[in-house]
Chains A and B, each alone.
Chain A
Amino acid sequence: MAIIELSNISKRYPNADSFAVDHVSFSLKKGEVLALVGESGSGKTTLLRLIAGLEHPDTGNIRLDGEIIVSGRKSLAANKRKTGMVFQDYALFPHLTIFQNVAFGLKGLKKKDAEVRVFETLELTGLKEDVKKYPHQLSGGQQQRVALARALAPRPELLLMDEPFSNLDTILRDQVREEVQQIIKSVGITAILVTHDTKDAFSTADKIAVMHDGKLLQIDTPNTLYNEPNSAYVAELFGKSNNVVATVEPGGFKTPFGFVSEPSDCPLINSRETVNLFFRAEETVFCNAEEPHLCGMVEKCMYLGDHMQLRVGCNRCKTCDSGLEPSDNSETHSILLKTSDQTWKPGDIVRFNLKNFKVKDPIG
């Protein structure tokens, strides 16, 4: 059963030109962890605040655990919703001790039960010893765990986390991310976390929802999202993706880099004249002049530690002069390739083949 269900949720802030959240619908099953991914300003935090009851949507309904909590002008007050939230800045109460912070949401419980619950939750997060300290006496990672414990202590139906790792430095971040993932899984709670870091999303979530300009572009498992992105934006978000314009020819595609043979299963080929080919930088192999190949000229080499990235323009060599005439659209005739060979320099001719690529409609 869906624990949280959003249907047709929209929110536009006064004086804003466009929707912060634009007709978003999705649902989440019990125990699932969803990552909302998008750039800043894509509406992901607003969506989280709408679920928490800190904002009210212009349209749409929200259902939590079977009960309608938002509909039309009516809404269940934030303090009556069974949601817990971890804020980006943690929002720990600076004048209360760690114990008091975690116990704050346990008002309904008897004092003794509350105490048991606080220690239970703090043990989960490994902060049992620091109960008498104040937030400012803790490190960033510890504060983050207190914030998580505080949100979990009342045993909410749904845990919301707004950029939970963004305030941590890179080294701490990997460690805390792992810990948080463990805690969430061990409690078995349904959670939605907002992040702009795809690494956070891949490592923590069962499902990822990509937001862009207030719209929900795609919601899928990490695996599907990476391998079957439904748009150029999603593909781009999860790794540098090359996008080459091509015309359909018998048996394959004509690109500015040369001719590409048709893969075995491709439904779009006969329906369109021009298409876009997508492939990632790592989905190419270099080859020599004898085999059929694509080719271009190195425009720029970027040394990136464990590998080199080559920007390749479509300057065709004589042996493969069967490609498409380059158009004016510069984006479609310059691609990125990955290599561990560090002898490349600008001006070199590159010959390569595609191991794998996808055919899509021209950018839409």
Chain B
Amino acid sequence: MSKNTTYWWNKWTGGAIVILLLVLTPVFTILIKLFDTPGEHWDHIVTNLLPSYFLNSIILLIGVAVFTFIIGVSMAWLVSIYEFPGRKYFEWLLILPLAFPSYMMGYSYVGILEYTGPVQTFLRNNFDIHFTGPIIDIMNMPGAIFILSISLFPYVYVICRSSFMRQSNHLQEAALLLGSSQLRVFSKIALPMARPAVAGGVALVGMEVLNDYGTVKYFGVDTFTSGIFRVWFSFGDINAAIYLSAFLTLIVLLLILLENLQRGKRVWATQSNKENPAIRIETKHRSSRWFYTGLSAFVLMVSFISPLMQLFYWVSLTWQNVINSEFIILIIRSFSLAIGSAIAIAVLSIFLLYAIRLSPLIWTRHIARMASLGYTIPGAVIAVGVMIPMMSIDRFFIWVFANQGGMILSGTLFILVFAYIIRFMAVGYNAIDAGFQKTGASVNEAARSLGASPLRTLWKIDLPLIKTSIAGAILLAFVDILKELPLTLILRPFNFHTLATKAFDMATNEMIAESANASLIVVLTGMIPIILLNNMISKNK
């Protein structure tokens, strides 16, 4: 009897609770600080700034949502239903814009359209057409909508495509046999069935829009996120920043709520458990086939190739000035920071998910999901929410050690890594969760029923079986961290740069061509997981 223990408690459960509490730090901070006074600038902010922050954020949200929906859904429909030259390649090439951070896309487009840019030069030299200034001024709201849309549409595209692919094509065939046109099949069958997925994709886009700082800052559009920066850095008003963060979080929560509401209890599962490989329509007319190819190529050109070319062009002009030992060190630092944080995310995710797996209580799964909340909270909010408790702890240390230690936590890499973990936990968590789900619970149970302790089971059975998922989780988190801007800008130690902040710094200081060096490295690194993932999927086929 002495060997018997309380059935729901073990070391793993305890550890998981600690991790969860830490990860939820910014949420707690904001909740607690909301009961504090809003700060001296709050009245000024409410009357003069808040209305325009609110309006701009909403317009940006709606604009980007509409455009990503149109581009994402139509491209997904095109590649999953029609057969046309190059379809196989466009299928994954259209995901590539995800590798391009929005703000870097913005810099590229400013370059493409400016007086010395390729478009104007071409028109000038060949057709003698002259413009004063850029052809189209994109340094405004429509410009920001355009940039965010072309860099974020793959979220909708990917999710929507996989939804179309999963739909049993018997349904579509049934509709066709009942006399529907292809267009009617799309609007009456395929799209309504994909609706939960599409809404999920659009919601994701919305969160990215609210998270964005680099693009809106550069384009001069004042949103909530840029407001937090202004209040934090210019006014130095922490409490007002918290209040703005709370507002922003509220909008995000509203977004999630809307998404959940529209989904409701509807689950359109196809009856057949066998996936029918979609039989693609081969259009009879050659011209329309090439039209589809042309359309895909155009979207790819606009959303990825042109801005990438612009980066290459700028790099070819400036690399001799930029690439030096300092820059190499910057690259090494930035990569190490991202890899270290990504590994930490993977380790913590494994710990959490394994605690769930061992737990006999079903609701642990729902609670642990809160660990991935960080992905929905804008980076600037997380930064503020992490910074404030850390500063309090530091003040305590300074008091205890009579000012001998200085700032121990805030202003160090530790706090940056901590914030990255909170923000990108979901990326690692979901990837590793998928691995665990695929392995199934029974091998783990079998090992334990054979007398292996939970730790030995994890080490000998679960980890070897999910190692690909772990590698995937680290890679995805790594790339996301490398691209991260707003959170890094707030929390980075003095004079410390990552590739992202360096690119931002140079671009805002009139060194836009030079900034392309850092941007190019980020974009090329971001392409790796997309290419690897595509290889893996096509191998599985």
A78:B8 contact, CB within 8 angstroms: no
A59-75: contact bitstring with B at CB < 8 Å (1 yes, 0 no)? 00000000111110111
A98 within 8 A of B: no
Contact A14 B362 (CB under 8 A): yes
Kindly identify, within residues 1 to 23 of chain B, every residue whose CB is under 8 Å from any CB belonging to chain A. 1, 3-8, 10
Q: How far is the CB of A52 from chain B (nearest CB, A)?
A: 6
Measured in the bound complex, the distance between the Cα atoms of B1 and A80 in whole Å is 12
Looking at the complex, which one of A52, A71, A88 makes contact with B4 (CB distance below 8 Å)? A71
B442 CB → nearest A CB, Å: 4
Smallest distance from the beta carbon of A189 to chain B beta carbons, Å? 15
Tell me, yes or no, whether A31 is within 8 Å of chain B by CB: no
Contact (Cβ within 8 A) A79 B5 = no
- B452 to A77, Cβ gap below 8 A? no
B6→A150 contact, CB < 8 A? no
User: In angstroms, how far is the closest chain B Cβ from the Cβ of A11?
Assistant: 10
Which one, A56, A104, A151, contacts B7 given CB within 8 A? A56
In the assembly, what is the distance between CA of A85 and CA of B362, in Å? 22
- In the complex, residue of chain A having the shortest beta-carbon distance to the beta carbon of B4: A74
B440 at the interface (CB under 8 A from A): yes
Stretch in contact with the other chain, from A89-97, A234-242, A325-333, A341-349: A89-97
Chain A residues positioned under 8 Å from B5 (CB to CB): 74-77
Question: Are B465 and A94 interface neighbours, CB within 8 A?
Answer: yes
Query: Of A76, A84, A107, which one neighbours B3 at CB under 8 angstroms?
Result: A76
For residue A190, give the distance in angstroms from its CB to the closest CB of chain B: 15
B262 at interface by CB-CB < 8 Å: no
Q: Quick one: which of A263-293 are within 8 Å of B by CB?
A: none
Whether A73 and B442, one on each chain, are in contact in the complex, defined by CB atoms closer than 8 angstroms, is no
Q: Kindly state whether residue A154 has any CB partner on chain B within 8 Å.
A: yes
Name the residue of chain B whose CB is nearest to the CB of A77. B5
A-B pairs under 8 A by CB, number: 100
**Is the CB–CB distance between B362 and A91 below 8 Å?**
no
Q: Please report the C-alpha to C-alpha distance between residue A160 and residue B446 in the assembled complex, in whole angstroms.
A: 11
What range describes how many residues of B lie at the interface? Answer: 20 to 34
Which of B440, B454, B460, B465 is the one whose CB lies under 8 Å from A79? B454
Who on chain A is nearest to B460 by CB?
A104
Closest CB in chain B relative to A80 CB, distance in Å: 6
A100-B72 Cα distance, complex, nearest whole Å:
49
Min CB gap B364→A, angstroms: 11
Which chain B residues border A150 with CB–CB below 8 Å?
Answer: 446, 450
CA distance A315 to B21 in the complex (A): 74
A117 to chain B, nearest CB (A): 13
- Give every chain B residue within 8 A of A85 (Cβ-Cβ): 445-446, 449
Per-position 1/0 for B429-449, Cβ under 8 A of A: 000000000001011011111
Contacts of A83 in B (CB 8 A): 449
Q: Which of A56, A71, A93 lies in contact with B8, CB distance below 8 A?
A: A56
Q: B363 an interface residue at 8 Å Cβ cutoff?
A: yes
**A108 to B: closest C-beta gap in Å:** 8
A residues less than 8 Å from B10 (CB atoms): 77
The interface residues of chain A lying within 8 Å CB-to-CB of B4 are: 68-71, 74-76
Contacts of A55 in B (CB 8 A): 360
Q: Which residues of B contact A154 (CB under 8 A)?
A: 450-451
A105 x B452 contact (CB < 8 A): yes
A13 partner residues in chain B, CB cutoff 8 A: 362
If A85-B445, A85-B449, A87-B442 touch, does A80 touch B3 (CB 8 Å cutoff)?
Answer: yes
Contact of B449 among A54, A67, A74, A76 (CB under 8 A): A54
Task: Report B-chain residues with C-beta under 8 Å of the C-beta of A73.
Answer: 6-8
B453 at the A/B interface (Cβ < 8 Å)?
A: yes
Q: How far is the CA of A84 from the CA of B3 in the complex (A)?
A: 19
Residues of B471-521 contacting chain A, CB below 8 A: none
Give chain A residues whose Cβ lies under 8 Å from the Cβ of B81. none
* Cβ contact within 8 Å between A107 and B451: yes
Taking the nearest CB of chain B, how far is it from the CB of A316, in angstroms?
46
Residues of B within 8 A of A151 (CB): 449-450
Q: How far is the CA of A232 from the CA of B132 in the complex (A)?
A: 93
Identity of the chain A residue whose Cβ is nearest the Cβ of B439 in the assembled complex:
A94
Q: Which of B449, B457, B460, B465 contacts A52 (CB 8 A)?
A: B449
* B451 pairs with A80, CB closer than 8 A: yes
User: B537: shortest Cβ distance to chain A, in Å?
Assistant: 21
In the assembled complex, which residues on chain A have CB atoms less than 8 Å from the CB atom of B440?
A: 89, 91
Min CB gap A49→B, angstroms: 8
Q: Is B450's CB under 8 angstroms from A105's CB?
A: yes
A107-B445 contact given A68-B4, A71-B4, CB 8 Å threshold: no
CB-based nearest B residue for A13: B362
Check B449–A89 contact: CB distance below 8 A.
no
CB distance from B1 to the nearest CB of A (A): 6
Contact B465 A91 (CB under 8 A): no
CB distance from B176 to the nearest CB of A (A): 37
With CB as the reference atom, state the residue of chain B lying closest to A74.
B4
- Assembly CA distance A297 to B446 (angstroms): 56
User: How near does chain B come to A99, taking the closest CB pair, in angstroms?
Assistant: 14
* Contact present for A84 and B450 (CB under 8 Å): yes
Query: Which residues of chain B come closer than 8 Å to A14, judged between CB atoms?
Result: 362-363
Measured in the bound complex, the distance between the Cα atoms of B5 and A7 in whole Å is 19
Q: Is B464 part of the binding interface, using a Cβ–Cβ cutoff of 8 Å?
A: yes
Taking a contact as CB atoms closer than 8 A, the residue among A67, A68, A104 that contacts B452 in the complex is A104
Measured CA separation A154–B449 after assembly (Å): 10
Chain B: which residue is nearest A81 at the CB level? B449
Q: Tell whether B528 is near chain A: CB-to-CB under 8 Å.
A: no
Q: A56-B7, A74-B7, A76-B4 known; A93 and B461 CB under 8 Å?
A: yes
- State which residues 322-373 of B face A: CB under 8 Å: 360, 362-363
- Bound: A299/B425 CA distance, A: 67
Whole-angstrom CA separation of A81 from B3 in the bound complex: 10
Q: Separation in Å of the A112 CB from the closest CB of chain B?
A: 19
Which chain A positions have C-beta within 8 A of B453? 79
What mask results when residues 7 to 48 of chain B are scored 1 for a CB within 8 Å of chain A, else 0? 110100000000000000000000000000000000000000
A107 touches B7 (CB 8 A): no
Most chain A beta-carbon neighbours within 10 Å: one of B363, B450, B454: B450
A75–B449 CB distance below 8 A: no
Q: Are A104 and B447 interface neighbours, CB within 8 A?
A: yes
Alpha-carbon distance between A18 and B8 when the two chains are bound, in angstroms: 22
Check if A79 sits within 8 Å of B448, measured CB to CB: yes
Given A76-B3, A89-B440, the answer on whether A54 and B445 have CB atoms closer than 8 Å is yes
Cα distance A85–B460 when bound, in Å?
19
How distant is A171 from chain B, measured CB to nearest CB, in Å?
24
Question: Can you give 20 A-B contacts (C-beta < 8 A)?
Answer: A52-B449, A54-B360, A54-B445, A56-B8, A56-B360, A67-B1, A74-B5, A76-B3, A77-B5, A78-B445, A79-B451, A79-B457, A89-B442, A91-B445, A91-B446, A92-B443, A95-B465, A104-B452, A150-B446, A160-B449
Which 4 A/B pairs are nearest by Cβ-Cβ distance? A105-B450, A91-B442, A91-B446, A56-B7
Question: In the complex, given contacts A92-B443, A93-B446, A94-B465, what are 9 additional A-B residue pairs having Cβ atoms less than 8 angstroms apart?
Answer: A14-B363, A53-B448, A53-B449, A56-B360, A75-B5, A77-B5, A81-B449, A87-B445, A154-B450
List residues of chain A with CB under 8 Å of any chain B CB: 13-14, 52-56, 67-71, 73-81, 83-85, 87-89, 91-95, 104-105, 107-108, 150-151, 154, 160
